Structure formats: structure tokens, C-alpha cells
Amino acid sequence: MATDTDTARIEGFGEVSRVRGIVFEYLSLGASVLGIFALAVLLIYVTIDAFDLAGTSPVWLLTYFVTLVVPFLAFCLYSARDREVTRRAVTVSGGGLVAVAAVFTAIETFVGQIPRLNWQLAYLFVVVAPLTGYLVYVGARGRPGAVGFGLVGRLIGGTAIGLAFSVLFLVFDERLWFLAYTIGIVPAALVYGYGRVRDVSVASAAAIPIAVLGVLVAVLLRPVVDVYPTTVFIYLWTLAIPIAAAGALLVNGRGNRTAALVAGGVPLALAVVIGLFGRAAGLGVGGPNALLVISVAGVPTAVYLHRVFDVGEGVTGLGVPVLLVGGALVGAFVVETFGIPTPNPWVSETFLTEAPSRNARDAGLYPAIVGSVIIIAMVAVFSFVLGVATSVFLEEYTADSGVIGALTRLLQINIANLAAVPSVVYGLLGLGLFANLLGFGFGTAVTVSLTLSLLILPITIISAQEAIRSVPDDLRRGSDAMGATRWQTTKNVVLPEAFPGILTGTILALGRAIGETAPLIMVGAATTVFSAPSSLFSKFSAMPMQIYAWANFPQEEFRYGVVAAGVITLLIILIGMNGTAILLRNRAERGT
């Protein structure tokens, strides 16, 4: 690289030195690569520990590589239909194998032993994982890939949302929900629908007051009424049927009545049958939660299937779930038949469904997962509602000048500074305000979620303000000139346009809330709880608290295996949550 800044004269034109820019570019690149590399090494080791990959026999890895990974990658290549990509993928996987094995052996021979890693694992992480990511990305651009990944996404996402719902019902009273739904929401929806169909605007306007009134009546009736249907029936009536009806309406809107009945009816019937008789028939699943999960995952899947068949392109992509499940089953069969030793991962069914234990192998994260999910749901609602309301007030309603303007600026400065206040201080505030003064109790869900909401509120407000400010003034003036009130302009023009930006800020802020420990310790959240919470005022723990507690255990199994499993679980839930929110946001961006 030339370092002289003189311009060399070549045939008339000078040459302008770009040395500083180039140095800056490569320094930045180097720094980012270094950061990503460090994080990757950490995550690789956490994964190895959590899944006990260090003790895995290479034959086991090879079996699943052949039955699961290779067919999946082949599908991605088939979807991409790009000779160049195929050639590149084969070169990388083959050449990578040789290169990784050679480099690994060289390091082991000349430098020293690399702990808990062998060349097969190194190949898996260095070549196979990035290659899979790349091929999924390329494959999704082909029609079969898009269809296949869309289907898998709906199945997994629906299941996760269904499970989250069932977790929420652990602390929220489903009987109160039943009353509120029956007395408030159903009549309101009927009145609204009537108003829309018959073009009676009074009826549409009456829907919200009816809903509010109904919910209030339900709250009053809850202590009086003591005859309720079973939980299965409540879930069926309040969740499964409306979801199925919404799915059917969606398909019907595309103009096919029979398909609508099938798309709504089949998942509903499946959910009811398994929910009612699954246990009795010895399926291993059943009960109200099964009904909930199957309907939440099934209906969107059915609607999606209808659309895929309607469009008629990339139908082969629907084989992806079969490919994945089939690959796993074949792999299991081969492992079983040939007696290949299987690894003993820390992230297991026990870990996800059992309470913590003194014995590392029996330790579970279930109460903490439930706690985190409930806290996050409440924080999302509190901080979103408060944050959007505050930012709308600050951006659209307050004046810029005069006394009000000065007060607004003061408020603005305060909010900006609050974003920089350490989380321990928020913990102290939560302890004093919510736990002591308002008497919500130490370490209860209400106290913890209100404290975390306060903690992320400044971030939510500032990002929502940015989003609202970026809505062009032309649109506001256009709406004002039509004779819209400030509220109508905000509701109809500003908020829909700012929504994706607001959601981005909330997602980032929630990511921070889910990982917080310090304020939780301050408000007295338990590090370890042995049973899932049963009400909003019972003792709570959250995943980071539990992981932190395990990290202090003397046994090595805890510090390596169980902590790693906890971290992986936390990350997966965080990524799943963010992923869902980002998908929602992208949909909102495209939807307008």
C-alpha cells in the first residue's frame, strides 16, 4: 500500500490519495471481524457444552449428518436451481473438510491440545453451520424453499405462541377470561360485524363501549359465579373457535367456501380430538394445552397450505417438514440398530420441563422459563402502551413554545437522561415504589415487570419519538386539511406509518429487559424457585437469575453443562421472540 500522500502525475491526470480512507476501512473491518470471531468462539463452546458434543462419537455425528443435514442441504440447492451455487457448495464442503482437518491437526501437533474440540466438530461449526445458513438464505429465494421454510416457520412459530399462551394461563385466571370473553368480547364483535354488514355506523361505534362494559361486568361476576365449564371447553370456546373462524374467513375472502371450511375445520377438529381424547388414547399429549397449541399452530398452517395450493408454485417445498422429521427418525433408527453411543445433552426434556435440583442431571429451568415468559409478556404490554402514549403526547400534542414548550423540553431532557441510569438504580426504585409503597410484594411478577418496564421505558419512548418524527409532515398537513382532528390524524395517518419503527425500538428494548438481573435482585426476585408460579403475586424467578445462581455452584457439571444449557435456552427464546416481532414488523411494512 502506498503511504505517500503526494499525487503522482500519470499522463495528465493526477492520482488522488485514498490512504486514510483505506486504512480506516480495513481497521473497521478488522475490528468487526475480531468481535464476531470472539463471540462465535464463545457461542461454539457454549453449544458444545450444552449439547455434550465433546463426548459425542464421530459416528453418531456422521449418521445424522448423512440422514438429516445432507438431504436438507440438497433440498436448498434444488430450490435455488443455480449451478454456480451448487458448484460452490460442493467445493466448500469438500475443500473445507480437508482444510479444517489439516489446520486442526497442525495446531494439535505443533501448538497444543485444543480443549473439548475435535476436527469433526470444528468442521461442523466452521464449514457446515455457515454453509447451511447461506444455503437456507439462497434456497429461500427459490419458490420451493420459500414455501418450505414458510411452512416450517408457521409450525414452529405457532407452537411457540401456543405454548406461550398456555404459560400465561398459569397465572392469569382463565375463568375470568371466559366471562370477559363471553359477556364482553363476543357481543361487541357481533355488534361490530352487524354494523359493518348493514352499514350502521352507530353499531360499529357501540362495539368498544359494549366490550369495556362486558369486561367490567365479568370482573364483578367472577367472585359470584362459581359454575364454570372445564378448561378444555374454555380454551375451545374462547381461543380455538375464534382462531379457526378467523382462518376460515381469511380463506373465504380469497373466494373459496369449501376450502375455508376445511382450513378452519380440520385443525379445529384435530385440536378437539387430541385435546379431549389424546391422553386416553395413549398418545402422550392431550388436555387443554394440546388443544390450544394445535389450534394456534394448525390454523395458520392450514391457511398457508391453502394459499400455496392456490398459487400452485413450489408445492414440493411442503416436503421440508417430512424431510426433517424423516431424517431425524431414520438417524435415530440407524443409531439404535447399530448401537452407536449417543450423547447426553444438558438441554433435554428434563431440563425444559422440570424444577431446579441439587443434582446437575435432574436440574431444570421450567419455573424460570415460565417466569421469564410471563414477565416479558407483561413488560411488552406495559412499555409498549406507555411508551407509545408518551411519545405521541410529546410529538403530536404538546406545544413547542411558551411555558408548555419549556416543560416539554425539561421532560425530554429527563427522559434522555433516564435512558442512561444504571439498572441497579431502577431496581432500587422498584423496591421502594412497587414492592414497599404500593405493596405489590417482593419479587412478584407485578413488581418485577413494572420495574423492568420502567427500565426500558426511556428507550421505548425515544425510539418511538424518532419513528413518529420521521413521518413526513406533508401527510399530517394533508390529513389536517381534510378536517381531521389531531386524534384522527394521529390514529389514521401517523401511527400506522410510524408503527414499524416503533416496533423496532420496542424489540431492542425487550431484548434488554429479558436479560436483566441487577434490578431483579434489587426487588427481591428469587434466584431459584421450585415450582411454576400460579398467580401474579407468587414468587418469581427469571432465566438470567437462575443461570447466575447456577454459575456459583461448586460442582463442575453446573458451571459448565447446566449453565451452558441455560444460556442456550435463553438465547433461543430471545431470538425466537425477536424473530417473531421482526416478522410482524416486516409484514406491517409491506402491508401498507
Q: Which residues of the shown chain bind other proteins in the complex (CB under 8 A)?
A: 199, 201, 399-401, 472, 474-475, 477-485, 488, 492-493, 496-497, 592
Give residue 265's identity as a one-letter amino acid code: G
Residue 196 CB, shortest distance to other proteins, in Å, is 12
Nearer to other proteins, 87 or 477 (CB): 477
Nearer to other proteins, 56 or 479 (CB): 479
DSSP string, 162-185: HHHHHHHHHHS-HHHHHHHIIIII
CA distances 174 to 237, 307, 410, Å, are 12, 34, 44
Q: Decide if 451 contacts 426 (C-beta within 8 A).
A: yes
- How far apart (Å, rounded) are the C-alpha atoms in residues 139 and 146? 7
Nearer to other proteins, 32 or 485 (CB): 485
Nearer to other proteins, 314 or 496 (CB): 496
Nearer to other proteins, 432 or 478 (CB): 478
> Which three cell numbers, joined as nine digits, stand for 291?
388443544
Between helices 143-171 and 563-591, what is the axis angle to 10°?
110
The distance of Cα 483 from the centroid of its chain, to the nearest Å, equals: 41
Nearer to other proteins, 162 or 500 (CB): 500
Nearer to other proteins, 423 or 489 (CB): 489
Nearer to other proteins, 348 or 492 (CB): 492
Residue 46 CB, shortest distance to other proteins, in Å, is 43
CB neighbours of residue 231 within 10 Å: 18
Residue 479 CB, shortest distance to other proteins, in Å, is 7
Residue 475 CB, shortest distance to other proteins, in Å, is 6
> Which three cell numbers, joined as nine digits, stand for 208?
368498544
CA distances 355 to 168, 216, 363, Å, are 18, 37, 6
As a whole number of Å, the CA-based R_g of the chain is 28
- How far apart (Å, rounded) are the C-alpha atoms in residues 100 and 284? 43
Nearer to other proteins, 94 or 472 (CB): 472
Classify 284 in phi/psi space as left (phi over 0), alpha (psi -120 to 50) or beta.
Answer: left
Residue 203 CB, shortest distance to other proteins, in Å, is 12
Residue 195 CB, shortest distance to other proteins, in Å, is 11
Nearer to other proteins, 399 or 421 (CB): 399
Residue 279 CB, shortest distance to other proteins, in Å, is 47
- How far apart (Å, rounded) are the C-alpha atoms in residues 216 and 218? 5
Burial class (CB in 10 A: 0-12, 13-18, 19+), 118: middle
Give residue 467's identity as a one-letter amino acid code: A
Q: Decide if 519 contacts 434 (C-beta within 8 A).
A: no
Residue 477 CB, shortest distance to other proteins, in Å, is 7
Nearer to other proteins, 359 or 485 (CB): 485
Residue 474 CB, shortest distance to other proteins, in Å, is 4
> In the structure, how many helices (H) and strands (E) does the chain have?
27, 0
- How far apart (Å, rounded) are the C-alpha atoms in residues 517 and 527? 10
Residue found under cell 435512558: 419
Question: Which residues is 10 bridged to in the sheet?
Answer: 13
CB neighbours of residue 325 within 10 Å: 11
Q: Is 210 helix (H, G, I), strand (E, B) or coil?
A: helix
Q: Which of 344, 320, 351 is nearest to 156 (CA)?
A: 320
Q: Is 91 helix (H, G, I), strand (E, B) or coil?
A: helix
> Which three cell numbers, joined as nine digits, stand for 562?
447446566
Nearer to other proteins, 385 or 482 (CB): 482
Residue 146 CB, shortest distance to other proteins, in Å, is 22
Side-chain-side CA neighbours of 130 within 13 Å: the count stands at 11
- How far apart (Å, rounded) are the C-alpha atoms in residues 523 and 525? 6
Nearer to other proteins, 238 or 490 (CB): 490
- How far apart (Å, rounded) are the C-alpha atoms in residues 174 and 194? 28
Residue 496 CB, shortest distance to other proteins, in Å, is 7
Q: Would the CA dihedral through 155, 157, 163, 166 be positive or negative? A: negative
- How far apart (Å, rounded) are the C-alpha atoms in residues 278 and 295? 14
Residue 201 CB, shortest distance to other proteins, in Å, is 6
Residue 99 CB, shortest distance to other proteins, in Å, is 49
Residue 310 CB, shortest distance to other proteins, in Å, is 18
Residue 500 CB, shortest distance to other proteins, in Å, is 11
Nearer to other proteins, 35 or 472 (CB): 472
The distance of Cα 447 from the centroid of its chain, to the nearest Å, equals: 23
Burial class (CB in 10 A: 0-12, 13-18, 19+), 347: buried
- How far apart (Å, rounded) are the C-alpha atoms in residues 455 and 517? 12
Nearer to other proteins, 113 or 401 (CB): 401
